[in-house]
Structure 1
Amino acid sequence: MTFVLRSLAISDPGLVRPNNEDVAFAGSRLIAVADGMGGAPAGEVASEIAISSLAPVERSAPDAEPVTALRDAIGAANAQIRAVTDADQATEGMGTTVTAILLAGRRLAVAHIGDSRGYLLRAGRLSQITRDDTFVQSLVDQGGLTPEEARRHPQRSLVTRVVQGGHLEPATVALIAQPDDRLLLCSDGLSDVVDDDTIAATLAGFPDREECARQLVKLAHQAGAPDNVTLVVADVTAE
């Protein structure tokens, strides 16, 4: 039995931001979200570099080590961002989050840096498969904040690690795919304003990927959508 991803991406500017610094990729083996930062147009440049570096991984050999493939691609993006900032002082400080999942056979490799999230809905149960690289998450880990308090904290958007041209080591997770798994990657424009219970109910309640994705964007809009809202919904399907 072989698996493929049936995936769909949506990127929406939200209701406040004048530009969209998010970029997504939705393939049959690779899905990814990058949320740029550093001010227009630098944030957009960084996220485009990240996704452009990751996109060729879609065509990598299915029997290749998927974690290595993602690490190498993110490393290449990191080096290119450094080269751009070295050449143009106006882009100094630009960076991007990256969250990517690669399907290789029955293996799902996850690589992550920043606060764009990865979720897995399996048998009706939602789990977050990435850890936010944020100041408030470190407080939650230390017991200083509850997850609910972290959602309302004024510094909840303070990201502690991004792809920015310096030394980095993406966090990685290896999973075994199961038929009918549903994956969600999203920028914090969704996860900051729509809680996990609502995300879970939407992923479970809208079997059609496009309807599901549009409903998630609608929920972000109803919550004010102060940031760009970008997401990929992908279903693991047996061929």
Structure 2
Amino acid sequence: MVFQGSSVAISHTGKVRSNNQDSGYAGSNLFAVADGMGGHAGGDVASSIAINRLSALDHSYDSPSDAERALRDAIADTATRLIETVKAQPELAGMGTTVSALIMVDDYAVLAHIGDSRVYLYREGTLTQITTDHTFVQRLVDSGRITPEEARYHPRRSVLMRVLGDTDADPELDTFIMPTQPGDRWLLCSDGL
């Protein structure tokens, strides 16, 4: 998809499972991917709730800061909806989802991120990971206890430290605003890619 000289691709394809827990959205201004967790406990429900809530943000904004505030509010609202859903359907306890979202506002990309889905930027022949994984192994890398190469094969590489789930009404979310350039390519993907 092309938007103001930038392209955005969304990938939520991972290993083939009987129950796909990924959800995605690609619109005029908003692009998002959510990767559900919780197995039979409703990861698909959590990711769907997140994307359904975020899809309402697909419109123009007066400023990047307005879009950033809208993303924060929508994701906080999603956390509340997940908690309410589990109260109504206790069999879904333990469900959660990652979220990586991008809103294009003029010459800026406004990003929100929690979990281990990722946003990459391809600019001038270089692919750069923009988001930081909220995983146990990423903390080990950040603290210098293991190398990035060791992280790729660590047995706990998928253990999430921050996620949008059914227990935290105020999740710790990364948001930021980045200037774009003509020719930028953005990739949003779940950890399956």
Q: Normalising to structure 1: TM-score of the pair?
A: 0.74
**Which consecutive unaligned segments of at least 5 residues does structure 2 have?**
none
- Report percent identity of matched pairs: 47
TM norm structure 2: 0.91
Which structure 1 residue ranges, 5 or more long, are not aligned? 191-239
Q: Deviations over 1:106-156 (max 9, x none)?
A: 111110000001100111111111000000000000001111100100000
Partner residue in 2 for 1:116: 117
1:122 and 1:13 map into 2 onto residues whose CA distance is 25
Quick one: distance in 1 between partners of 2:76 and 2:63? Answer: 21
Aligned partner of residue 152 in structure 2, secondary structure? helix
Return the alpha-carbon distance in structure 1 between the equivalents of residues 191 and 13 of structure 2.
12
Change (3 A) 1:11 1:188: closer
After superposition, the CA RMSD in angstroms is 1.8
Matches of residues 131-210 of structure 1 in structure 2 within 5 Å?
131-165=132-166, 166=168, 167-190=170-193
What is the deviation of 1:14? Answer: 2.5
Is 1:26 paired with 2:26?
Answer: yes
Q: Answer whether contact 1:118 1:129 (CA < 8 A) is retained.
A: yes
Equivalent residues of 2:12, 2:33 under 8 A apart = no
1:56-78 residue CA offsets vs partner (Å, 9 max, x unmatched)? 11124343612111111111111
Task: Say if 1:117 and 1:12 are closer, same or farther in 2 by CA, change over 3 A.
Answer: closer
Cα 1:142–1:156 change in 2 (3 A) is same
Equivalenced residue count is: 188
CA 1:4–1:47 in 2, change beyond 3 Å: closer, same or farther? farther
**Structure ranking higher in helix proportion:** 1
